[in-house]
Structure 1
Amino acid sequence: MVLSSVCFGSSGLFASAVMATGWSAPQVTAVRIWLAALVLVLVVGVFRRAGLRVARSEWPLLAGYALLGVVGIQLCYFLAVSRLPVGIALLLEYLSPVLVALWVRFVRGTRLPAAAWLGTALALTGLALVAQVWQGLRLDLLGLLAGLAAAVCSAGYFLLGEHAVSTRDPLGPVTLGMAGGAVLMLLVCPPWLVPGHTLGAATTFGGWHPPVWSLLVALALLGTVAAYLIGMSALRHLPPSVASVLALIEPVLAAAAAWALLGQSLTAAQLVGGVVLLAGALIVRLAGGRPRVEPGPLAEPVPTTGSA
Structure 2
Amino acid sequence: MTNAAATEPVAISTGEPATTVTRGTVLIVLASFCFGTSGPLVKPAMDAGLSPQQVASFRIGLAAALLLAFVAVTRPRLLRLRRSDLPLLVGYGLVGVAAVQLLYFAAVSRIPIGVAMLLEFTSPVLVALWVRFVRRVVLSARMWVGTALALLGLAMVAQVWEGLRLDTFGLLFGVASALCAAAYFLIGERGVSTIPPLGLVTWGMVVGAVAIAVVTPPWSLPGETMTATAEFAGLAVPVWTLLVTCAVVSTAAAYLLSISAMRYLPANVVSVLAVCEPIVATVLTWLALGQTLAPVQVLGAAVLLAGATVVQLASRTPKVVLVGDAVQPTVG
Q: Structure 2-normalised TM-score?
A: 0.72
Q: Partner letter of residue 247 of structure 2?
A: A
CA shift in 2, pair 1:129/1:250, >3 Å: closer
Deviation at 1:194, TM superposition (A): 2.5
CA shift in 2, pair 1:145/1:207, >3 Å: farther
The residue aligned with 2:46 is: 19
Q: Which runs of 5+ in 1 are unaligned?
A: 292-300, 303-308
The residue aligned with 1:159 is: 186
The residue aligned with 1:295 is: none
Matched, 1:268 2:295: yes
Paired residues of 1:115 and 1:284 also in contact (CA < 8 A):
yes
Matched, 1:42 2:69: yes
Deviation at 1:125, TM superposition (A): 3.7
Q: Partner letter of residue 123 of structure 2?
A: S
The residue aligned with 1:298 is: none
Matched, 1:95 2:158: no
CA shift in 2, pair 1:277/1:98, >3 Å: farther
CA shift in 2, pair 1:200/1:7, >3 Å: same
Matched, 1:55 2:98: no
**66-75 vs 177-186, which deviates more?**
66-75
SS in 2 for 1:209: strand
CA shift in 2, pair 1:77/1:261, >3 Å: farther
Paired residues of 1:112 and 1:288 also in contact (CA < 8 A):
no
Matched, 1:138 2:159: no
Q: Which runs of 5+ in 2 are unaligned?
A: 1-26, 320-329
Deviation at 1:275, TM superposition (A): 3.3
Q: Greater CA radius of gyration, 1 or 2?
A: 2
Q: Partner letter of residue 307 of structure 2?
A: G
The residue aligned with 2:16 is: none
The residue aligned with 2:254 is: 227
Identity %: 53
Instruction: Return the alpha-carbon distance in structure 2 between the equivalents of residues 270 and 141 of structure 1.
Output: 23
Matched, 1:217 2:253: no
SS in 2 for 1:217: helix
Paired residues of 1:96 and 1:154 also in contact (CA < 8 A):
yes
CA shift in 2, pair 1:148/1:271, >3 Å: farther
Instruction: Return the alpha-carbon distance in structure 2 between the equivalents of residues 12 and 200 of structure 1.
Output: 20
The residue aligned with 1:297 is: none
Give the 5 Å matches for 1:181-260. Answer: 181-191=208-218, 193-230=220-257, 250-260=277-287
Instruction: Return the alpha-carbon distance in structure 1 between the equivalents of residues 134 and 261 of structure 2.
Output: 30
**18-27 vs 115-124, which deviates more?**
115-124
Q: Partner letter of residue 188 of structure 1?
A: V
SS in 2 for 1:204: strand
Deviation at 1:93, TM superposition (A): 4.5
Q: Partner letter of residue 285 of structure 2?
A: A
Instruction: Return the alpha-carbon distance in structure 2 between the equivalents of residues 264 and 147 of structure 1.
Output: 24
The residue aligned with 1:115 is: 142
Paired residues of 2:56 and 2:101 also in contact (CA < 8 A):
yes
**30-39 vs 242-251, which deviates more?**
242-251
Instruction: Return the alpha-carbon distance in structure 2 between the equivalents of residues 170 and 276 of structure 1.
Output: 31
Decide which of 283, 297, 300 is 2:310's aligned counterpart: 283
CA shift in 2, pair 1:234/1:165, >3 Å: closer
Q: Partner letter of residue 163 of structure 2?
A: R
1:166-209: CA deviation from partner (whole Å, max 9, x where unpaired): 12211111000000011101212134542233111111212011
Deviation at 1:70, TM superposition (A): 1.1
Instruction: Return the alpha-carbon distance in structure 2 between the equivalents of residues 163 and 234 of structure 1.
Output: 12
The residue aligned with 1:72 is: 99
CA shift in 2, pair 1:202/1:281, >3 Å: same
Q: Partner letter of residue 43 of structure 1?
A: F
SS in 2 for 1:203: strand
Q: Answer 1 or 2: which has greater strand percent.
A: 2
Paired residues of 1:171 and 1:229 also in contact (CA < 8 A):
yes
Deviation at 1:76, TM superposition (A): 4.2
Deviation at 1:212, TM superposition (A): 1.2
